[in-house]
Amino acid sequence: MPSPVSIMILTRNVCFVKCSSGSLNHTSSCSTSSSLSPSSPGRPSGYGPSLAVSLARTSFSSSSRKMEDTFSEKTVGEIVKACVEMGKVKTGALIVVERKESLKDYERTGIEVDGLVTSQLLINIFEHNTPLHDGAVIVRGNRVTFATCYLPLSDNLDLSKELGTRHRAGVGVSETTDSMTLIVSEETGGISMAYEGELRRHLSAEELRERMRQIMDLNGEDDAKGAHKRRGKNRAKSEKKDTE
């Protein structure tokens, strides 16, 4: 059973309840009044209306679970769109995408979200001066699982001294896991990617998209499908020649 409720937020007849356990749940009805009680030090004390609406949409769409919970082309598109939009207004962001190695140890340091990956949800989470903007978001499959997660900082002396905590955290988690991390600079709006302990900076939208597809093996899937189609066409041609 959940711990005693610490936060209740009403939006569009949906009540989001943050329990002291750190999870964020929704229920279909609640009273029209909202209540707040002091939260633990250093942790979020409330959620903005735009974030609550985004979570409402993803919660209802996920209830049916008709979509496969896998990292897909759509997931790539939503993350790229979010990074580009946040870069334009210099909103800092740190997005860690889980691959084969579990990130549950880092999830324990954050707050559960469990929402379908959309650009709007990511933008709302990292919006300036909102409770969830500090720390990292973790993505597993096509879902944002946790926010405000703490990551290990890299002590790599080769990293530029102009890089801040956000970039060093992105590189740090890529040194200890096989995860892929996207970083948006709050100072320049530049987009970077950390993978296998290396940092690639100043990526364009297309470069980011292609690199994500490569790391997540989406190119391999497309190549396999293409090869299958080519084999089918070649087989059809051979059969046609045989009948002539």
Euclidean distance between CA atoms 105 and 154, whole angstroms? 17
Q: What is the pLDDT of residue 12?
A: 32
Domain that holds residue 126: 69-218
Euclidean distance between CA atoms 22 and 43, whole angstroms? 9
Give phi and psi for 81, each to the nearest 5: -60, -45
In a domain, 105, yes or no: yes
The average pLDDT across 161-182 equals 96
Buried b (16+ CB within 10 A) or exposed e, 79-115: bbbbbbebbeeebbbbbbbbbeeebeebbeebbbbbb
Max CA distance (Å), the chain: 82
In a domain, 86, yes or no: yes
Q: Could you count the other beta carbons within 10 Å of the beta carbon of residue 42?
A: 7
In a domain, 224, yes or no: no
Q: Could you count the other beta carbons within 10 Å of the beta carbon of residue 241?
A: 8
Which region among 39-48, 52-61, 69-78, 100-109 has the lowest average model confidence (pLDDT)?
39-48
pLDDT digits (tens, 9 = 90+) for 129-141: 888 888 999 999 9
In a domain, 235, yes or no: no
pLDDT digits (tens, 9 = 90+) for 189-228: 999 999 999 999 999 999 999 999 999 998 764 444 444 4
In a domain, 230, yes or no: no
- pLDDT over threshold 60, residue 157: yes
Instruction: Tell me how many domains the chain contains.
Output: 1
Token pair listed for 171: 């590189």
Highest mean pLDDT: which range of 12-16, 46-50, 74-78, 224-228: 74-78
* CATH, residue 91: 3.40.1700.10
Q: With a threshold of 0.75, does the pTM exceed it?
A: no
In a domain, 74, yes or no: yes
CA atoms within 13 A on the CB side of 170: 28
The average pLDDT across 89-93 equals 96
Q: What is the pLDDT of residue 59?
A: 45
The answer to whether the CB of 131 falls within 8 A of the CB of 113 is: no
In a domain, 95, yes or no: yes
Q: What is the pLDDT of residue 128?
A: 87
Strand 136-140 relative to strand 93-97, pairing = parallel
In a domain, 164, yes or no: yes
